[in-house]
């Protein structure tokens, strides 16, 4: 069957894009004012902060999963401070969350007019974004890294080191001669294919990121905090670029899924925050918690039950108390699918119908000794 050949597409330089957001204009910093939440949300923020303090004092994990709007709302400085202070131990986002973070770090700007650019055949056809991120994931996969760590390394080190074709062939052959080396050889072969097919120059690709102080991914790289990306094939603009390849993306994403699963397997007594991610966060969480319980039962341990989950979104669901169980079908909260998914995962659950800027600013203040 005939497939579309992306090499026929015209890629455009990012300099031609009319950007809707500039990070230095939208950045939200710890201590900035935030709207006053209602009493229920104020109590829920305080409870999240209390559970996080208890978890970290006991050495238990605190994971934050988030969607791209957290990045586009300029909240990176708040998240970065929470990471640097040790409050967050795992960060997970979707492909768009990684892309916008990278564009802000690289260019200081991000976000385009989707309607206008789709009609003009230009939406997502941006050379630098597609080239750098696809290359970073391919090089990272060949080095045994996941998707998130590969992009974080690009930002942190401000370069990519691309081996030449003979060196890659030698690496692949050596790995094939090692027990269990076939997967590593396949990752190297994926990179070799891109190097040969597209004539990628070998050597160091310098990549200044003048705004990386606003990058959550860079903070993860600097602090050694696990950062995982959970993409959907075809969801993101990097899939329009000819350098996009299923092998590196899939391999990096599966590694990240298993890194996230390892974090969730240790969640007993810990906290999971889902901020503005109504699809990705509950979907990966439920599979990982099931695997954690599977292993616990196989090893004669109790299943996970002492974890707290806080879900933050803007979808109205009524004033439903999830500690009472699932709402009836005639209640609006019944149709908050992500809340139902998390509620079925044991532990305790709070849903905060709240702007993510207000939530993170209030949470940060509560953790640092202020009022929620």
pLDDT higher than 90, residue 325: no
pLDDT higher than 80, residue 370: no
The arithmetic mean of pLDDT across residues 108-125, rounded, is 97
Give me the phi and psi of 163, to 5 degrees please: -70, 160
> How far is CA 275 from each of CA 3, 26, 71, 327, 338, rounded to the nearest angstrom?
37, 18, 11, 22, 11
Instruction: Please list the alpha-helical segments (H only) found in the chain.
Output: 23-26, 39-57, 68-72, 76-84, 95-107, 114-119, 127-142, 147-157, 165-176, 182-198, 216-223, 246-265, 280-298, 337-343, 356-367
Q: How far apart are CA 142 and CA 190, in angstroms?
A: 8
pLDDT higher than 80, residue 314: yes
Mention every residue, 6+ apart, whose C-beta is less than 8 A from residue 234. none
Q: How far apart are CA 135 and CA 370, in angstroms?
A: 43
Q: How many distinct helices (H) and strands (E) make up the chain?
A: 15, 10
pLDDT tens digit sequence for 200-217: 999 999 999 999 999 999
The arithmetic mean of pLDDT across residues 338-353, rounded, is 92
The arithmetic mean of pLDDT across residues 331-336, rounded, is 86
pLDDT band for 318, please (50, 70, 90 cuts).
low
pLDDT band for 97, please (50, 70, 90 cuts).
very high
Percent of the chain residues past pLDDT 90, beyond the cut: 91
The arithmetic mean of pLDDT across residues 302-317, rounded, is 93
pLDDT tens digit sequence for 41-64: 999 999 999 999 999 999 999 999
The arithmetic mean of pLDDT across residues 348-365, rounded, is 96
pLDDT higher than 80, residue 371: no
pLDDT band for 319, please (50, 70, 90 cuts).
confident
pLDDT band for 103, please (50, 70, 90 cuts).
very high
pLDDT band for 16, please (50, 70, 90 cuts).
very high
Closest C-alpha among 100, 92, 89 to residue 60 = 89
pTM of the complete model beyond 0.85: yes
pLDDT higher than 70, residue 124: yes
pLDDT tens digit sequence for 85-94: 999 999 999 9
219: its two tokens: 């903070």
Q: How far apart are CA 188 and CA 174, in angstroms?
A: 11
pLDDT tens digit sequence for 230-241: 999 999 999 999
pLDDT higher than 80, residue 128: yes
- Distance spanning both ends of the chain, measured CA to CA: 57
Percent of the chain residues past pLDDT 70, beyond the cut: 99
pLDDT band for 178, please (50, 70, 90 cuts).
very high
> How far is CA 125 from each of CA 8, 17, 66, 180, rounded to the nearest angstrom?
12, 10, 25, 38
């Amino acid at each position: 069957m005939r497939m579309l050949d992306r090499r026929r597409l015209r890629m455009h330089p990012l300099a031609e894009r009319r950007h809707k957001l500039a990070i230095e204009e939208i950045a939200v910093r710890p201590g900035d004012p935030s709207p006053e939440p209602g009493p229920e949300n104020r109590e829920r923020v305080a409870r999240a902060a209390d559970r996080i303090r208890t978890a970290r004092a006991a050495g238990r994990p605190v994971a934050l999963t988030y969607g791209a709007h957290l990045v586009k709302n300029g909240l990176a400085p708040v998240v970065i401070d929470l990471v640097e202070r040790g409050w967050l131990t795992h960060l997970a986002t979707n492909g768009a969350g990684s892309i916008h973070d990278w564009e802000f770090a690289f260019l200081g700007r991000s976000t385009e007019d989707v309607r206008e650019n789709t009609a003009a055949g230009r939406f997502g056809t941006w050379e630098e974004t597609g080239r750098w991120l696809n290359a970073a994931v391919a090089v990272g996969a060949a080095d045994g890294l996941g998707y998130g760590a590969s992009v974080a390394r690009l930002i942190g080190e401000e370069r990519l080191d691309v081996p030449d074709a003979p060196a890659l062939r030698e690496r692949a052959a050596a790995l094939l001669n090692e027990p269990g080396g076939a997967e590593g050889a396949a990752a190297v072969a994926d990179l070799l294919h891109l190097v040969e097919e597209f004539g990628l120059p070998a050597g160091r690709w310098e990549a200044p990121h003048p705004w990386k102080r606003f990058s959550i991914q860079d903070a993860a790289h600097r602090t050694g905090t696990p950062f995982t990306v959970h993409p959907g094939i075809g969801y993101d603009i990097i899939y329009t670029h000819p350098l996009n390849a299923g092998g590196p993306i899939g391999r990096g994403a599966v590694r990240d899924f298993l890194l996230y699963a390892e974090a969730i397997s240790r969640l007993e007594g810990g906290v999971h925050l889902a901020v503005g991610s109504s699809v990705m966060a509950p979907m990966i969480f439920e599979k990982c918690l099931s695997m954690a319980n599977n292993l616990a039962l196989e090893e004669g341990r109790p299943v996970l039950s002492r974890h707290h989950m806080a879900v933050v979104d803007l979808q109205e669901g009524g004033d439903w108390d999830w500690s009472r169980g699932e709402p009836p079908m005639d209640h609006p909260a019944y149709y908050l699918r992500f809340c139902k998914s998390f509620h079925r995962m044991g532990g305790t659950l709070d849903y905060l119908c709240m702007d993510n800027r207000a939530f993170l600013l209030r949470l940060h203040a509560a953790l640092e000794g202020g009022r929620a």
